[in-house]
Structure 1
Amino acid sequence: MRKIITYIAMSIDGKIADSKGGVKWLDEFTHKDENYGYEEFYKNIDTTIMGNTTYQHIKNMGVEFPYMGKNNYVITKNREKLKEDHIDYISEDVIGTIRSLKNVPSDKDIWLIGGGKINSLLQDNGLIDEMRLFIAPVLLGNGIPLFSPFGKITKFKLISSKQYASGMVEMRYKKLVVS
C-alpha cells in the first residue's frame, strides 16, 4: 500500500501560511544550493492531494502549475468547478476516495500538500503515514496552522532530523502502528 506523506514547511509556532494564505515569509529560507531533499521526494511521488484553498493560492501565484505530470486531486465542497485537465476534484466520499488512491498499485507515494483543514481530515481518519516537517526559525503568531483542530490522537516516531545552513530543520516522522 502506498504512503501518504506530508512534506511541508512551517514556522516554529506551527503555521504553514500567514493569515492571508501567503508564504512569502519562507523566501529568505530558499537557496538555490539547497533543495531540502525536494527533488528526490518529488521523484518518489506520483499523486498530490490538496484542498481547494491551497490550489487557488497556487493558481494565483502567476506561475505554471508545478505538479504537471502527476495525478492531482483537489478536495472541494464546491460542486460547480472549472474543468482543468491536470486536476481531478473530490467532493463526495473524500475519505473513501483517498483510501482507494492508497490502494492503487504503484511504487510511488502520495504527497499531501495541505492545507490545515485537509491535513486534519486525513489525520483524523488515520491516513497520514509519514510527515516531513521543515521548521523555519520564525514565529508568525497569526496564520494557517499545520492542523486545524481534530479529535484522533496518533503517535509518530522521529526517524530522522537534519539542520540546514538556512536555519531550517527537517523533522521526519513515521506513524506508529498500534496493535
Structure 2
Amino acid sequence: MRKVVFYIAASLDGFIASPDGSVDWLPAPPPGEDYGYADLLASVDTTLLGRTTYEQVLTFGEWPYSTLTNYVFTHNPPTATAHPSVEFVTEEPVEFVGKLRQEAGKAIWLIGGSTLAASLLTAGLVDEMMLFVVPHLLGDGIPLWRQQSHSQPVHLLRTHTWPDGMTLLHYNLASSA
C-alpha cells in the first residue's frame, strides 16, 4: 500500500499562508540547502492539492511538478487547460485517496491545503507528516489545522533544526489506515 506524506511548512503560530493566501514570508533556503525537498521528490510520484493551493502554486511561474501525477480536488474544475500532468478530481477526497493508495507506485505527497488535509487526516489516510516550523509569527492567515472530529496519536520519527531556525518535526501517524 502506498503511503501518504503530508509535507508542509507553517509559521510558528500555525499558519500556512498569509490572510491573502500568499507565502512570500517563507524564507529561501540557505545556499546548498533544500530542507529535504529533493529527497521528498525522489520518493513520490503523485501529489494531492486542493484547488486554492493549486492556484497559489500557479502564481510561482512554471508548473513545478510536471514529472509527477497531480490530482487537484475541486467542486468546480476550471475550463482553462491545465498542465498535462494535472487532473481535476470532483470525487470525494477520502474515497479517491483510499483507492489511490491501493494502486502501485511511490509515495503520495499531500501538498495541501488545510481543508483537504483535515479530511484525509480524519479518515486516517495520512501515514507521515513532515511539518516544517518556520521561525516567523504571522499573527493571522490561513491556519494549518482545521477542526478534527477526534484526537489522533502521533509518533515522532525525527527532528532536525537548521542554523536559520527552520525546524522539521517528522511524525508517523499511529492511527493511519
| TM-score relative to the length of structure 1 | 0.92
- Write out aligned runs for 1:77-96 (5 A): 77-79=75-77, 81-84=79-82, 85-96=84-95
Contact kept? 2:93, 2:119, Cα under 8 Å: no
The aligned runs of 1:1-179 (5 Å cut-off) are 1-27=1-27, 29-61=28-60, 63-79=61-77, 81-84=79-82, 85-106=84-105, 108-177=106-175
Contact 1:50 1:112 in 2 (8 A): yes
Q: Kindly indicate whether the alpha-carbon contact (under 8 Å) linking 1:4 and 1:129 is maintained by their aligned counterparts in 2.
A: yes
Change over 3 Å in CA distance of 1:13–1:164 after alignment to 2: same
Kindly indicate whether the alpha-carbon contact (under 8 Å) linking 2:48 and 2:71 is maintained by their aligned counterparts in 1: yes
Cα distance in 1 for residues equivalent to 2:175 and 2:73: 26
Contact between 2:159 and 2:170, CA under 8 Å: does it hold in 1?
yes
| TM-aligned CA deviation for residue 80 of structure 1 | 5.1
2:13 partner letter:
D
Structure 1 residues 9 and 79, CA gap change in structure 2 (3 angstroms): closer
> Is the 8 Å Cα contact of residues 11 and 138 (structure 1) preserved in structure 2?
yes
Q: How many residues align?
A: 176
Unaligned runs of 5+ in 2: none
Alignment gaps of 5+ in structure 1: none
Residues in 2 aligned to 1:135 and 1:66: alpha-carbon distance in whole angstroms: 22
Tell me, in whole angstroms, the C-alpha distance in 2 between the residues paired with 1:162 and 1:114.
22
For residues 35 and 14 of structure 1, the distance between their equivalents in structure 2, rounded to whole angstroms, comes to 21
Amino acid at match of 1:92: E
1:149 and 1:81, CA in 2 relative to 1: closer, same or farther beyond 3 A? farther
C-alpha contact (below 8 Å) 2:93/2:116 kept by paired residues: no
After superposition, the C-alpha distances for 1:68-91 in whole angstroms (9 at most, x for unaligned) are: 010100000114543422211111
Amino acid at match of 2:75: K
Return the letter of the residue paired with 1:161.
Answer: T
Instruction: Give the whole-Å Cα distance in 1 for the aligned partners of 2:68 and 2:112.
Output: 16
Distance in structure 1 (CA, Å) of the matches to 2:175 and 2:119? 19
